[in-house]
Amino acid sequence: MGKLKLKLTFDKDCVTRPIIYELVKKYDVMTNILNANIEYGNRGNMILEIKGKDENLKLALEYFKDLRVKYEIYAEAIIWDEKRCISCGSCTAVCPTQALTMGKDDLLHFDKDKCVVCQLCINACPIRIISVEL
C-alpha cells in the first residue's frame, strides 16, 4: 500500500469528467479530497490524497497523463521551521487532523503522516514559520 498527495490542475475539457469516480472504479484507490476549487466549464485544481497498491497508484498517474491533467506530487507536506518555533500553539487551533499538537513537554509536535496539507496552519502561525513545499 502506498499513499500520494497530489495537486491536480484541470483545463476546461476535463472539468466535466467524473475523474474521482473513474479513479476509484478503475484503479481501486481510496481518495480523499483535501481541497478543491473547480468551476464547471472552466479551469480547476484539487489537492487529492490517494491510497492504494503501488502499481495502481502508478496507473492512476498514467491516467492523469492521458487525460492531460497536470499533477504535482507533494514531496513533503508542510515545512515547519522547528528552530524558530516558540511553541505557542496557535496553529493547533485550526489543524483539522491533529497533525500539529502540543506535546507533554509543552513543545509543538508535528506528525507528517497526519498532515493533509490543508494549509490552515500557515496563516494561523503568528511567527510565520510554517510554509508549504509545492
Chain residues that interact with another protein, rule: CB under 8 A: 86-90, 92-94, 101-102, 105-107, 120, 123-124, 126-128
> Is the distance from CB of 58 to CB of 65 less than 8 angstroms?
no
Nearer to another protein among residue 73 and residue 88 (C-beta): 88
Minimum distance, C-beta of residue 109 to another protein, in the bound complex (Å): 12
Nearer to another protein among residue 8 and residue 121 (C-beta): 121
Nearest-angstrom CA–CA distance, 19 and 104: 43
Q: At what angle do helices 54-67 and 19-27 cross, to 10 degrees?
A: 140
Nearer to another protein among residue 90 and residue 131 (C-beta): 90
Nearer to another protein among residue 67 and residue 124 (C-beta): 124
Minimum distance, C-beta of residue 86 to another protein, in the bound complex (Å): 5
Minimum distance, C-beta of residue 34 to another protein, in the bound complex (Å): 17
Phi, psi for 49 (deg, rounded to 5): -105, 130
Nearest-angstrom CA–CA distance, 19 and 95: 28
Nearest-angstrom CA–CA distance, 126 and 6: 27
